[in-house]
């Protein structure tokens, strides 16, 4: 079945309180997707963001980001007032997320709702606590202790709680009881609003294509609560961390800094943690994109303390055994493999054995000669084609920064006469691809420039901030997208 969708982070939606939420704009975007004939809304990871505000560096692989909780719904429920929500300035620029301001005020507003809620009378809240007892207590304690130590990295906490001694756990559970419940309640509010939104989308015929990062953040409840799953020494200091070698994005490689899995330990447990993780994701998403698929075949290990990724080396990952365990436990899982980058024959073999569709990105197609797998005529049905991903520039920005020789080649290849045809031609090329699924970032439909780029890998400071303006939707846009979707058999 040929389908298509649009990529847009929830955080990029317009809202009056500084960041996109699961509120009115999200429902309006679902309506837009349905009207446009789209099958998928692709989003980025939903976890609470940590270092660098990246959704790929989350405080938990299981938790939801409290910034996404819609305040207007809490007003309707009587948990907040309009005046309480408007007492803070969440940012000066409506098209840029100001994470510093959000950090200073968003949880203060949500705390008012927490104090006002009648939690002991809410049966659904009690049921949520029971159903998520395998991760929520550790996460809530982690966040409460982190606040207690003024946001410090958990490896800088006092020794008893850093090493999770029984005395340390008991002490802080008693000391921070209310804070722990506050973070539990935030997750309940997030989950309730998210399920409501996803149910609405599914009824409209729109499925959520979610994103599962291969790694967890080093400063996360996952690493702190289960350090035995990672390469840590006896003092819980990392031995080696994740990244990738030099590539098109960086001459010194990318030093991500995530702790690496001790795959031998995971193997002994029958990959129990991974099964829990994917099972949890299946509750949130209709289809799952697994990030950095190559890392399951071979992963790049960088000695802890290095300032660049140059000193790393490739080591063997779990391979097909992990995916066999997932399938045995959970059945067929609708996974998309992010197989970008320099791939080896063993990665291709792993992808073929799993049967998962890989990704074809048009921005990578026009260099490297006629055998480049991203070229439109080399696409296979079992794949997902993109004009670009969240890590790419927009199509317009790509054009504006492109070498003149490459620009001439792309225009000649696609039969373009004028640069004004750039976005529409590349979008049509993706939609007419043989790939079963086509995903287009909304910025490309809107023909926005580099100011609308989501992320530039190997950089810090200006990523994950872009937002739509409040009046982004042109009256004819949905009709034009639907026409192309029908024209190329994807509706």
Positions annotated as catalytic residues are: 291, 338, 391
The neighbouring-strand residues paired with 49 are: 58
Residue 302 to residues 240, 286, 460: CA-CA distances in angstroms? 5, 34, 20
In angstroms, the CA 438 to CA 38 distance is 10
CB 180 within 8 A of CB 171: no
φ and ψ of 431, to 5 deg:
-70, -30
Roughly how many angstroms between the first and final C-alpha of the chain, as a whole number? 10
Tally Cβ neighbours within 10 Å of residue 251. 10
Residue 32, token pair as written in the block: 């837009």
In angstroms, the CA 70 to CA 75 distance is 9
According to DSSP, the β-strands at 358-361 and 40-42 are: unpaired
CA atoms within 13 A on the CB side of 354: 29
Residue 357, token pair as written in the block: 């569709």
In angstroms, the CA 464 to CA 450 distance is 13
* Burial track 175-211 (b if 16+ CB lie within 10 A, e otherwise): ebeebbebbbbbbbbbbbbbeebbeebeebebbbbbb
φ and ψ of 301, to 5 deg:
-110, 125
Tally Cβ neighbours within 10 Å of residue 279. 13
CB 457 within 8 A of CB 391: yes
In angstroms, the CA 31 to CA 27 distance is 6
Please choose, from the candidates 127, 93, 89, 135, the residue with its C-alpha nearest in 3D space to the C-alpha of residue 108. Answer: 89
In angstroms, the CA 341 to CA 246 distance is 11
In angstroms, the CA 171 to CA 120 distance is 24
Task: Could you list the beta-strand ranges (E) of 155-284.
Answer: 207-212, 240-244, 254-259
With 0-12 / 13-18 / 19 or more C-beta atoms within 10 angstroms meaning exposed / middle / buried, residue 275 is middle
> Which residue matches tokens 């003092």?
235
Please choose, from the candidates 382, 347, 339, the residue with its C-alpha nearest in 3D space to the C-alpha of residue 364. Answer: 339
Residue 390, token pair as written in the block: 């969240």
**Strand arrangement of the beta sheet that strand 298-303 belongs to:** 254-259, 240-244, 298-303, 313-316
């Amino acid at each position: 079945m040929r389908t298509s969708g649009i990529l847009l982070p929830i955080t990029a939606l317009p809202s009056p309180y500084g960041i996109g939420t699961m509120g009115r704009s999200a429902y309006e975007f679902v309506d837009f997707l349905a009207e446009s004939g789209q099958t998928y809304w692709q989003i980025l990871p939903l976890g609470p963001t940590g270092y660098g505000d990246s959704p790929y560096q989350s405080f938990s692989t299981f938790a939801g980001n409290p910034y996404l909780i819609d305040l207007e719904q809490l007003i309707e429920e009587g948990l907040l007032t309009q005046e309480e929500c408007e007492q803070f300035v969440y940012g000066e620029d409506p098209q840029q997320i100001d994470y510093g301001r959000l950090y200073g005020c968003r949880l203060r507003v949500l705390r008012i709702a927490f104090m006002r809620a009648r939690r002991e009378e809410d049966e659904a809240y009690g049921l949520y606590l029971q159903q998520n007892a395998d991760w929520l207590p550790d996460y809530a304690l982690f966040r409460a202790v982190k606040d207690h130590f003024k946001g410090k990295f958990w490896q800088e906490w006092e020794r008893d709680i850093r090493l999770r001694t029984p005395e340390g756990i008991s002490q802080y559970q008693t000391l921070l009881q209310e804070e722990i419940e506050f973070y539990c309640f935030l997750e309940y509010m997030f989950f309730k609003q998210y399920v409501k939104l996803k149910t609405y989308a599914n009824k409209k015929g729109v499925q959520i294509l979610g994103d599962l990062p291969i790694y967890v953040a080093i400063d996360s409840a996952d690493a702190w609560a289960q350090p035995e799953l990672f390469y840590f020494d006896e003092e819980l200091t990392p031995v080696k961390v994740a990244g990738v070698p030099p590539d098109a994005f960086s001459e010194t490689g990318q030093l991500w800094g995530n702790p690496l899995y001790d795959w031998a330990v995971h193997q002994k447990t029958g990959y129990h943690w991974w099964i829990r993780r994917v099972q949890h994701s299946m509750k949130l998403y209709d289809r799952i994109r697994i990030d950095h698929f190559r890392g399951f075949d071979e992963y790049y290990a960088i000695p802890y303390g290095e300032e660049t990724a140059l000193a790393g080396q490739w080591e063997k990952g779990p391979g097909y055994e992990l995916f066999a365990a997932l399938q045995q436990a959970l059945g067929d899982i609708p996974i998309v493999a992010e197989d970008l980058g320099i791939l080896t024959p063993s990665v291709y073999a792993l992808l073929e054995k799993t049967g998962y569709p890989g990704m074809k990105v048009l921005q990578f197609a026009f260099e490297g000669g006629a055998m480049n797998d991203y070229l439109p005529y080399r696409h296979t049905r079992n794949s997902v084609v993109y004009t670009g991903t969240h890590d790419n520039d927009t199509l317009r920005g790509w054009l504006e920064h492109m070498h003149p020789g490459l620009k001439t080649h792309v225009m000649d290849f696609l039969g373009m006469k004028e640069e004004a045809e750039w976005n529409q031609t590349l979008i049509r090329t993706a939609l007419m691809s043989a790939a079963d699924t086509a995903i287009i970032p909304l910025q490309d439909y809107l023909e926005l420039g580099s100011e609308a780029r989501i992320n530039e890998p190997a950089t810090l400071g200006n990523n994950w901030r872009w937002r739509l303006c409040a009046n982004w939707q042109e009256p004819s846009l949905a009709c034009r997208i639907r026409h192309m979707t029908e024209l190329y058999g994807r509706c």
